[in-house]
A and B are shown apart, each in its own frame.
Chain A
Amino acid sequence: MITGIIFAAAVVGIIGILIGVFLGIASEKFKVEVDEKEIMVRNELPGNNCGGCGYAGCDALAKAIAAGQADVGACPVGGASVTEKISEIMGVSAGSAEKKVAFVKCKGSCDKTKVQYNYYGIDDCRKISVVPGSGEKSCVYGCMGYGSCVKACEFDAIHVVDGIAVVDKEKCVACGKCVASCPNALIDLVPYKAEYLVQCNSHDKGKDVKAKCDVGCIGCTMCIKQCEFDAIHMDNNVAIIDYDKCTNCGKCAAKCPVKVII
């Protein structure tokens, strides 16, 4: 009886020791050299694993930065402080990594835009965008207000207020998830410092815009004439601001007849 127990214990013990020794040898034999820089870079990254950089998480980005495949400022979440530390590790000077935020190019809240029908159904913009007329609001370019971007945001930085999505500038880390989630491609990453933004995405002609929404860009080109820096242009009936040239003078916003530049 007792010898049986001892025998069993001995067999398991021996198997355990054999496996231990085997794994020990194997770990030496199959050791993979990890770049020292990669570990240091990884320690500086925020570790949210949000994927905003386009890589499959912070580990993958650290590897890419250490290998020189990604920019030292590739992490949109970390901001300037992280970029600085990483560039120190990598021994290169940090570029002018500008803090960006997401911005919803639509102002058509429930009271400003016309409603064409009542919608009852699946609560998700990506599904609603295939419904004829793409949702309740008559403008097909605008925010449908069903909050796919809100669900996509991991930082609680975007909310639907009065039928349109609004970004909380302070909480936004520009990870770009909401940009990808919007079926109308309505969300852009814009510089944090930019004060004047065109809050409309409608490519309709001026008359059609007027018929559908009180606060849409009618393509009157008034803002273009005001701008002294050649920073604003018309693209398919909607004004687009070039943030590299814009000096935040605000003349365009002052003249805009529909107050779509804020």
Chain B
Amino acid sequence: MKELLLIAIGSALVNNVVLSQFLGLCPFLGVSKNVKTSAGMGAAVIFVITIASFVTSLIYKSVLVGLNLEFLQTIVFILVIAALVQFVEMFLKKSMPALYEALGVYLPLITTNCAVLGVALTNVQKDYNILESVVNGVGISVGFTIAIIMLAGVRERIEYNDVPHSFKGSPIVLITSGLMAIAFFGFSGLI
């Protein structure tokens, strides 16, 4: 139990997926214009990463290890994740239309979020079992959500400020996220 908690906190704060591993930067920069949409993106990411880390870990343990084909992990995970997102989308549309509407366009967008693949590969690298993989997935996606919502909050306020012309748009966002990364560095002594 203690180990699981350590994994969760470690992946959410200490090794934050965006701010210290630099994964999933595309949605982090692209969908952080306002807090509401970034919260939607965060929810969708939590949803998908949790399921994906379960399924990929299951496939790795039961298929790839059994067949001695561990080196195929990357390509198989890409396949599986893309298909999984497709399937989840279809399933939600039919049986949970309310959740489908809430996640909206962010659900299919997640296919291109490298954090999902990143989680699957880290789970293998660190030799987590299936339960540990799921906990790691939840931790990482919660970390992503925290980071993207915080950045969106900062960006909403930056809108009102007089940013020098050459820093408008992406530069100021990158500088902001750099400062956030330094702040998150403070968590490194936590575990």
Contact of B72 with A12 in the complex, beta carbons under 8 Å = yes
Nearest CB to that of B97 among chain A residues?
A: A32
Q: A23 to chain B: which residues have CB within 8 Å?
A: 83, 86-87, 90
A195 within 8 A of B: no
Instruction: From A12, A27, A122, give the contact of B90 (CB < 8 A).
Output: A27
Contact of B80 with A12 in the complex, beta carbons under 8 Å = no
* Partner-contacting stretch, out of A14-22, A39-47, A198-206: A14-22
A124 within 8 A of B: yes
Bound complex: CA A123 to CA B168 (Å): 15
Q: Mark contacts of A3-25 with chain B using CB atoms, 8 A cut-off: 1 yes-contact digit, 0 otherwise.
A: 00001100110011001001100
A117 within 8 A of B: no
Decide: A11 near B161, CB < 8 A? Known: A23-B86, A32-B94: no
Bound complex: CA A26 to CA B84 (Å): 11
Bound complex: CA A12 to CA B161 (Å): 52
Contact of A8 with B72 in the complex, beta carbons under 8 Å = yes
Bound complex: CA A27 to CA B71 (Å): 31
B76 within 8 A of A: yes
Contact of B83 with A32 in the complex, beta carbons under 8 Å = no
B167 within 8 A of A: no
* Chain B 141-191 residues near chain A, CB threshold 8 A: 159-162
- Chain B interface residue count: which class? 20 to 34
Q: A8 to chain B: which residues have CB within 8 Å?
A: 69, 71-72
Give the interface SS of chain A, mostly helix, strand, loop or mixed: helix
Interchain nearest-CB distance for B28 vs A (Å)? 23
Contact of B75 with A12 in the complex, beta carbons under 8 Å = yes
B67 within 8 A of A: yes
Contact of A26 with B90 in the complex, beta carbons under 8 Å = yes
Bound complex: CA A15 to CA B69 (Å): 13
Decide: A26 near B162, CB < 8 A? Known: A8-B69, A11-B72, A16-B79: no
Interchain nearest-CB distance for B167 vs A (Å)? 15
Interchain nearest-CB distance for A123 vs B (Å)? 6
Instruction: From A7, A30, A124, give the contact of B94 (CB < 8 A).
Output: A30
Q: A19 to chain B: which residues have CB within 8 Å?
A: 79-80, 83
Instruction: From B76, B86, B91, B159, give the contact of A15 (CB < 8 A).
Output: B76
Nearest CB to that of B94 among chain A residues?
A: A30
Contact of A30 with B90 in the complex, beta carbons under 8 Å = yes
Q: A32 to chain B: which residues have CB within 8 Å?
A: 93-94
Shortest 8 CB-CB distances between A and B: which pairs? Answer: A30-B94, A30-B90, A19-B83, A122-B160, A124-B160, A32-B93, A26-B90, A26-B87
Interface residue ranges, B against A (CB under 8 Å): 63, 67, 69, 71-72, 75-76, 79-80, 83, 86-87, 90-91, 93-95, 159-162
**10 cross-chain CB contacts under 8 A:** A7-B69, A11-B67, A12-B72, A15-B79, A19-B79, A26-B87, A31-B94, A122-B161, A123-B160, A124-B160
